[in-house]
Structure 1
Amino acid sequence: MAKATKKQALGRGLSALLKDPNNDIQSATDKNADKVVGNIVELELSAIEVNPFQPRSNFNDEALHELASSIRELGVIQPITVRKLDFNQYQLVSGERRFRASKLIGLETIPAYIRIANDQESLEMALVENIQRQDLDPIEIAISYQRLIDEIQLTQEKMSERVGKKRSTITNYLRLLRLDPIIQTGIRDGFVSMGHGRALVNVVEKQDQIALYEKIVGENLSVRDTEKAVKDYQEAKSNPNQNSSPESKNKNTSKTNPEFITKNLGKFSDYLAVKVDIKASEKGKGKITIPFHSQEEFNRLKKLITGE
């Protein structure tokens, strides 16, 4: 208990230091910056503004009130992170749920780690820290990855290093943003999973995506069932006049790929993180089709294949 009291008193002491106009810390090299930056400080909630770069857009009211009740009983166990804007002015980097819950129960101060960062660094910190959270839905994660690409100019390789995820994992999240907004909302609301979305993203036409999405929800299809439905859709699209007679089915069966192709097809798709199509004759002659849906994806594939 004595340690906790000492730690809290230290935070209040640092708070007083930050309110002293003669000790206005604006950079990591300023006097007393080492006493504040990276340490836990008790900050007034009124001095903190919400981060406009926050990738989370949905806050569950019930969960927020549960957190508020926990904070009322136990206090804020995990400090929030803020960046210093100006004299006694701060902006959230992470911890908006704790910030909102503390305001709900009328707290005046909150423990916080202080960072000094410019807008770009703040955006990157907010996005990377939020991506690490366990309670973000797949679309929120995908949007965060896309913002790191668009606004921080990170390549998928660099982003992989920053967030500690495989590049193929990042690519799979980004591909979800090709889905119709209705399906993206369905993933966010839990009607379908990310696995369903990954299957549907292989359907280019948005109206066909919606039709398959309605079938998934209406018939409660599993991910495997969805993958089969997408495959059937693609085959029907590529062979619109296909005869459904037994003779035609036998003819199609005879045109299946040889074993050396079927055993290795998945390796191409896994490495490139796109659905690769390979057609080959029994003699081994064939072609490889690699789809892409944007210049950014084309450049990614080019780098993987050519190394440039």
Structure 2
Amino acid sequence: MMATKLKGLGRGLDALLMPEPTKMATAAASGIPMLKISELQAGKYQPRRRFDDAALAELAASIKAQGIMQPIVVRKTETGAHEIIAGERRFRAAQLAGLTEVPVVIKEVDDKTALTLALIENLQRQDLNAIEEAEGIQRLIAEFKFTHEQAADAVGKSRSAVSNLLRLLELAKPVQDRVVAGSLEMGHARALASLPKDKQVMLAENIAINGLSVRATEALVKAQNHPAEDSKRPGVPTGKTKQQKLALPLVRDADLDRLETELADALGTYVEISHQATGQGELVIRYASLDQLDGLIGRMKR
């Protein structure tokens, strides 16, 4: 099976690439094929969604001075064009540098192998964020019927690491966007995954605004998932007895939900309003660190 054949690919691309030339001219002289840039097309299995403009400009300047140090891996399509398997960043930088042709390694591979190789190249160069990694692995599973274990073997990761990555695709879209943009780390995102999506978005903003650590985020998420545990800690008032709470039923309506959301947005943290039929109630504002508490108090004083 193809999945079995792909098992060793996670160890590297060296077997697919020719020895690296020191100059593009050296590449041509050493017999490495050269193709016109116009003959290349972006790979349909490229896992990267985001290319940093500044980094591309820097690479383009290096290519102008030194040439392309490693050939671009391509495969020939039915239309006669050459689709990029590995090296799209070099391809884009070569375009910026004004090159008309680039060194290539032409491989005969199927779609499954093309996607796997594109993933491996980017993973080895640490070019992918966690969401891009997860999306690439999900394509192996959805399009090519890989099991989690087969996908893990193909990209050189443990099965648990693959499962954790795939969980990130269940996050709210705004939270995924923050991971892609770099304002949330993998650890932050993994902690948020256990919350409802509306709370994920709210806490993600809190993390970005207050610079919360992964550990602080995990503590805050735990407090939201298990609020009853706080009342069991020594020194924390237990509040009303069970009988008192039963005698004073809570009231929920759309206006109360709106006020809770508006206050949470204004403070940038989790807020809970418990309102009773008598008109009394409680306002709970959670914080994850003393720095965040200072910030909350400062906002309230304005």
TM-score exceeds 0.5: yes
* Pair 1:47 & 2:39 matched: yes
2:28 equivalent among 8, 24, 39: 8
1:131/1:144 contact within 8 Å kept: no
CA distance in 1, matches of 2:158, 2:186: 17
TM-score using structure 1 length: 0.64
Letter paired with 1:51 = G
Counterpart of 2:43 in 1: which secondary structure? coil
- Asked whether the 8 Å contact 2:112–2:140 carries over to 1, the reply is no
Question: Which residue of structure 1 lines up, in the alignment, with residue 169 of structure 2?
Answer: 177
Cα 1:51–1:228 shift into 2, 3 Å: same
Structure 2 unaligned spans of 5+: 1-21, 242-302
Residue 210 of structure 2 is aligned to residue 206 of structure 1: no
Measured in 2, the distance between the counterparts of 1:62 and 1:45 equals: 21
Structure 1 residue 109: Cα displacement: 1.0
Q: Which residue among 178, 191, 195 is the counterpart of 2:187?
A: 195
Structure 1 residues 111-260: aligned runs within 5 Å: 111-203=103-195, 205-236=196-227, 239=228, 246=236, 248=238
Q: How many residues align?
A: 217
Alignment correspondent of 1:103: 95
Deviation per CA, 1:130-179: give whole Å up to 9, x if none.
33331211111111111111112111111121111111111111111111
Q: Is the 8 A contact 1:179 1:201 kept in 2?
A: yes
Distance 1:50 1:128 in 2: 17
Return the structure number with greater relative CO, CA threshold 8 A, min gap 6: 2
Structure 1, unpaired ranges of 5+: 12-39, 252-308
Residue 111 of structure 1 aligns to a residue whose secondary structure is strand
* Mapped contact 1:84–1:117 kept (Cα < 8 A): no
Q: Normalized against structure 2, the TM-score is what?
A: 0.65
User: Is the 1:41–1:112 Cα contact (8 Å) retained in structure 2?
Assistant: yes
- Quote the sequence identity (%): 41
> What's the counterpart of residue 299 of structure 2?
none
Give the residue type in structure 2 aligned to 1:191.
S
Q: What SS class does the counterpart of residue 184 from structure 2 fall into?
A: coil
Superposition misfits of 4+ residues, deviation over 6 angstroms: 3-6, 242-245
Give the SS at the match of 1:136.
Answer: coil
CA contact (8 A) 2:37 2:101 kept: yes
Sort the Cα spacing of 1:6 and 1:217 in 2 relative to 1 into closer, same or farther, 3 A: closer
